[in-house]
Amino acid sequence: MKFTMKAMLMAGLMAMASITMANDSINTQALHQNVTVKQALSLKDDSKVQLKGYVVKSIGDEKYQFRDNTGTITVDIDDDLWNGKAVSAKTPVTLIGEVDIDHKPAKRIEIDVDQVRF
């Protein structure tokens, strides 16, 4: 009886692990596809995104205005992610991160950047 319970528990844990791994591969696959600013503005909170375009100006406090050919969005880029590289409004960049939606005091959509590629 104890052996059967252990075997069932192990089978359940293995099934959960395979489901998690399958979801991770889907998220990784989605990360390699570019999303436009227009598309990012319609995604759910915490959606993974990869944006290609230009950081056109600094807003302050590690926040920047990002632009592609579909629109603009505020992005939050930690100073250390720049790796000391200077970027102008004409430097193409790829930003990888996730959608961050705040509802208070008003709805605000930003991208919380995890990686900057030049």
Q: For residue 102, what is the domain's CATH number?
A: 2.40.50.200
Do 62 and 81 fall within a single domain? yes
Do 48 and 83 fall within a single domain? yes
What is the total count of domains within the chain? 2
Structure tokens at 101: 């939606």
Domain ranges, residue 15: 1-32
Q: Are 97 and 52 in contact (CB under 8 A)?
A: no
Closest CA to 94 of 42, 55, 41: 55
Task: Answer whether residue 25 shows pLDDT above 80.
Answer: no
Do 57 and 22 fall within a single domain? no
Do 41 and 78 fall within a single domain? yes
Structure tokens at 16: 């959960």
Q: How many residues does the chain have?
A: 118
Q: What is the pTM of this model?
A: 0.74
**Which percentage of the chain shows pLDDT scores above 70?**
73
Task: Answer whether residue 78 shows pLDDT above 50.
Answer: yes
